[in-house]
Amino acid sequence: MKKTLKSLLIFFACVTLFGCTNEEIPKDETIQKEDIVYITKQITHSEAGGFFGMKTFMETATIENVTYCFEKSVSEEDRVYCIEQTSKLLENIDTGKDLTICIYDKTTYDNEYASDGFVYTSVRDWQSAEYLTVILRAIYGEYCNYGTAYGYANYLLGNTETSDLKFEADFEFYDLNDLCFHPNFATDEQIDIVKSISTAFVKEYIKTNGEESFIDILKASGDVKEIVKAKNALEGFYEKNGIKTELPTIIFGPGGEAFDYTVICEYASIYIIEDFIDTGASYYPEYTFFDGFLNNNYVKTMDYFIVNVEQMKKYQYHFGLDYYDNSLEIMFLNNTEFSIYFSRPVHQIRLNSIISFMHEYIHSVTMLDWTQETEKWESEGLAAYYEFLYNEYALPFWYYDRNNGAEIYGHTYILDYIEKSGRPVETVDDLRELDNIYSYLTRKHGLNYTYTSGASFISYLINQFGEREVLDYMLVHHSLKKLTDQTFDELVEDWKDFLEENYWEYGRK
């Protein structure tokens, strides 16, 4: 409270002395601290995903089209040097917009973040390519490819020498995205190679096509609708150097203070918490599938998101609805206390396991047009039924779970099924049969007892009336009369009769 009151007093004093707006300081060869007039303002900094935000009273000064905001604890020497060096860095850049650069003490904010026209960072080397890269992202797009921006920073700084650069076919980091520069995903040696490749690519592209064309490529690299342009340019550079590679059209960007990194695709923005630990590891610690690869293995992480983005595309095509809201946010969080869920009001998914991705995504694409309250069998049953369709990462776990967890958790019906089949659970048909068996064993509890019951009922409806007809009933017109002359209660009784007729022998024990 004392700190807040002190900041407010400074604010009112500054407003009284200097007015409510900064007097613009002309850019000069040398900036003297006596020339800088500061106005104290409260600066709000919030990052994508909504998991981090702060308000800080900062001392601000404007030089041409750049406003510098310094936390009070930043020394006068650091302030002047920052302004001098940043002004020099921007001399050869047509920013096309006003910039705001916020400099914090490392104890307040030890990170870097760029958004449209804004840079947030702490005291650092103001002459470095890394600092200029953040500025370039604030100008040309916060998610533009890091390597492409870094290479351009080196180009502007005149650091374009890349001696002894060799291109190896088995090198994993040709995408040049943020993870290629991340110490958890790449070694120091690999990062140095990526930096050299980035610099060589930009130098070659500008030499051949010009700087204006390069800026278009840089902007395109951070836009999922335009990224193919940047992808083709980079692939062409590699092909000239003897490397044939297919780069993804997924954007990997910075995570800011709250997250480790961000993944942007056509269908969602995905945020991964730092040191993500899959909760599945606590249930099956011996199962190496949950090895934390989202925070330390570049190839596995890339594959995971490439596969799941393709599956998202397949689900949208499969359901064939008229529209989808692709402003979806997906968070991978380290919190075992919250429930995995899709929130329709904020259009957001929260996950603590990699295997739950598709289940929750199905919710996001099927529930948008549901205006009335739904029962569990509808919402969860639909997701539980369809998550078997495209789910490359969850299916292996489910097979493992059914084969290894049956005895541990006393699921004798699974053991009976395995014994009767004469083989382990290994197909989607096996999983659907086990859903039916469990639904038979728990039928007295009703249709909404478990997700499994809903999935079994939907499977029954599809077998009776056809998949498209059932999807139209559930997702489009919601009219049972367009599906059948039977009442809903009659359908449920028919489903129970089906279970009794086909799975009665599992109820003998």
Q: Are residues 190 and 299 in the same domain?
A: no
Q: Which two tokens stand for residue 158?
A: 């005149």
The long-range contacts involving 67-70, CB below 8 angstroms and separated by at least 24 positions, are 67/22, 67/98, 67/99, 67/100, 67/101, 68/101, 68/103, 69/41, 69/43, 69/100, 69/101, 69/102, 69/103, 70/38, 70/103
Residues 6+ apart with CB under 8 A from 97: 65, 116, 117, 139
Residue-level pLDDT at 508: 65
With beta carbons less than 8 A apart as the criterion, state whether 257 and 264 touch: no
Say if 251 falls within a structural domain. no
CA distance to 434, 438, 468, 481, 491, per residue, from 464 (Å): 19, 20, 12, 15, 10
Tens digits of residue pLDDT in 316-351? 999 988 778 889 999 999 875 566 788 888 899 999
Q: Are residues 167 and 204 in the same domain?
A: yes
Say if 256 falls within a structural domain. no
- Final residue in a domain of this structure, among 369, 402, 434: 369
Q: Are residues 289 and 186 in the same domain?
A: no
Q: Are residues 151 and 135 in the same domain?
A: no
Give the number of other CB atoms < 10 A from CB of residue 208. Answer: 12
Say if 339 falls within a structural domain. yes
Q: Region 61-87: what's the mean pLDDT?
A: 94
Single-letter code of the amino acid located at 66: V
Instruction: State how many domains the chain has.
Output: 4
Say if 440 falls within a structural domain. yes
Q: Are residues 381 and 505 in the same domain?
A: yes
Q: Give the residues across from 102 on adjacent strands.
A: 69, 120
Residues 6+ apart with CB under 8 A from 230: 145, 148, 217, 218, 220, 221
Say if 252 falls within a structural domain. no
The lowest-confidence range among 26-40, 115-129, 155-169, 482-496 is 26-40
Kindly state the DSSP code that residue 26 receives in the 8-state scheme.
P
369 vs 100, residue with greater confidence: 100
Q: Are residues 226 and 336 in the same domain?
A: no
Is residue 14 pLDDT above 50, yes or no?
no
- Final residue in a domain of this structure, among 101, 122, 139: 139
Residue-level pLDDT at 27: 44
Q: Are residues 65 and 111 in the same domain?
A: yes
- Final residue in a domain of this structure, among 322, 341, 369: 369
Q: Are residues 398 and 495 in the same domain?
A: yes
Q: Which two tokens stand for residue 325?
A: 């809201």
Q: Are residues 153 and 109 in the same domain?
A: no
Residue-level pLDDT at 248: 95
In sign, the C-alpha dihedral spanning 188, 191, 196, 197 is: positive
Q: Are residues 10 and 113 in the same domain?
A: yes
With beta carbons less than 8 A apart as the criterion, state whether 325 and 268 touch: no
CA separation for the pair 196, 410 (Å, rounded): 57
Residue-level pLDDT at 408: 65
CA separation for the pair 450, 16 (Å, rounded): 66
CA separation for the pair 453, 375 (Å, rounded): 12
Per-residue burial over 56-85, b if 16 or more Cβ lie within 10 Å, else e, is bbbbbbbbeebbbbbbeebeeebbbebbbb
pLDDT band at residue 305, thresholds of 50, 70 and 90?
Answer: very high
In sign, the C-alpha dihedral spanning 388, 266, 297, 262 is: negative
Residue-level pLDDT at 205: 98
Model pTM? 0.89
Residue-level pLDDT at 221: 98
Say if 399 falls within a structural domain. yes
Beta strand 99-104 with 66-71 is parallel
CA distance to 227, 373, 400, 476, 499, per residue, from 420 (Å): 52, 41, 18, 40, 18
With beta carbons less than 8 A apart as the criterion, state whether 326 and 368 touch: no
Tell me if residue 360 falls in helix, strand or coil: helix
Q: Give the structural domain span for 269.
A: 265-369
Q: Are residues 44 and 79 in the same domain?
A: yes
Q: Region 183-209: what's the mean pLDDT?
A: 96
Say if 257 falls within a structural domain. no
Please state, rounded to an integer, the average pLDDT across all residues of the chain: 88
Is residue 78 pLDDT above 70, yes or no?
yes
CA separation for the pair 185, 178 (Å, rounded): 10
Residue-level pLDDT at 338: 61
Q: Are residues 97 and 197 in the same domain?
A: no
CATH code of 11's domain? 3.30.2010.30
Q: Region 53-58: what's the mean pLDDT?
A: 92
Residue-level pLDDT at 34: 66
Say if 258 falls within a structural domain. no
CA separation for the pair 381, 452 (Å, rounded): 7
With beta carbons less than 8 A apart as the criterion, state whether 357 and 308 touch: yes
